[in-house]
Amino acid sequence: MELLSAMVFGACAGALMYLSGVGGGVVVVPTLVGIFGMTLPVAVGTASAFSFVYKIGAGFSHQRAGNVVWPLLRTFLKAAAGVCLLCSLLVVWVMGQPGALASVVNGSLKLAIFVAGVLALVSLHSQNLSRVLQRLGLTPLACATGALVGATGTGGGILVTPALLATSGESAQRVVGTSLVIGLALSACTGVVFGMNGSIDLPILGTMLLGALVSMPIARLGFERLSAQAIRQLTSAAIVLALAMMTASVLRTTFS
């Protein structure tokens, strides 16, 4: 039953990533914690590996459609990749230490994931975040994105998509395609570091990827036919549900 649930969830998460560029972390990590009962490091590692493998196929699809802006992608990754790798290594090291420090970091990362989800919702429905991001500039945003993805497995779509929309002047479809490939590279860094530490649930990962592969043709069709408003509404509903499940899991653990 758990593997069937993982397949259905993988199909939904993969379709959401294809449509919006959001969801590889901010939906998958809270759901793996809240529904599948994973510890946070295993959830981050599994979500990062899922995001990386899925985005290979989705990235090729966007590339064939001409929706990847390579100069913009290279500029972003020059600032983000090193920070992402460093933060992943730091989190894995801290979470492996005995004592209270690991518990404090675990709680802090869950809070960061929750805040990232709220930011994702704001970015989807308000232009204010885009204005703030535009004032910050691309390099600081790239560093912040690398840190967030490296530490929590979230942020590839949350910060990259609105940041590129605010600073690049590219169309929404080209921004989503470019954001997806950037997320692929950053998820690879996080997935490798957490995977080397054994923090990946391989049966759940494989089943989720199978579901995502099945849903990709449907997601491709939806990307062509759904309105931007419909995609925002679907993404928002998924983020709210995922954060609610993670919050419920944290409360059950705290008061049990």
Q: pLDDT digits over 29-49, tens only?
A: 888 988 898 988 899 899 889
Per-residue confidence (pLDDT) for residue 211, from 0 to 100: 92
Average pLDDT, the chain: 82
Per-residue confidence (pLDDT) for residue 23, from 0 to 100: 64
Closest CA to 53 of 6, 14, 8: 14
Per-residue confidence (pLDDT) for residue 156, from 0 to 100: 65
Question: Residue 137, by phi and psi: left (phi above 0), alpha (psi -120 to 50) or beta?
Answer: left
% pLDDT > 70, the chain: 90
pLDDT over 70 at 142, yes or no: yes
pLDDT over 70 at 255, yes or no: no
Tell me how far apart the alpha carbons of residues 196 and 143 are, in angstroms, rounded to a whole number. 23
Tell me how far apart the alpha carbons of residues 172 and 203 are, in angstroms, rounded to a whole number. 35
pTM, entire model? 0.80
Closest CA to 11 of 44, 50, 64: 50
Torsion of CA 183, 186, 187, 193, to 10 degrees: 180
DSSP string, the chain: -HHHHHHHHHHHHHHHHHHHS--TTTTHHHHHHHTS---HHHHHHHHHHHHHHHHHHHHHHHHHTT---HHHHHHHHHHHHHHHHHHHHHHHHHHTS-SHHHHHHHHHHHHHHHHHHHHHHHHHH-SHHHHHHHHH-HHHHHHHHHHHHHHHS--TTTTHHHHHHHHT---HHHHHHHHHHHHHHHHHHHHHHHHHTT---HHHHHHHHHHHHHHHHHHHHHHHHS-HHHHHHHHHHHHHHHHHHHHHHHHHHHH-
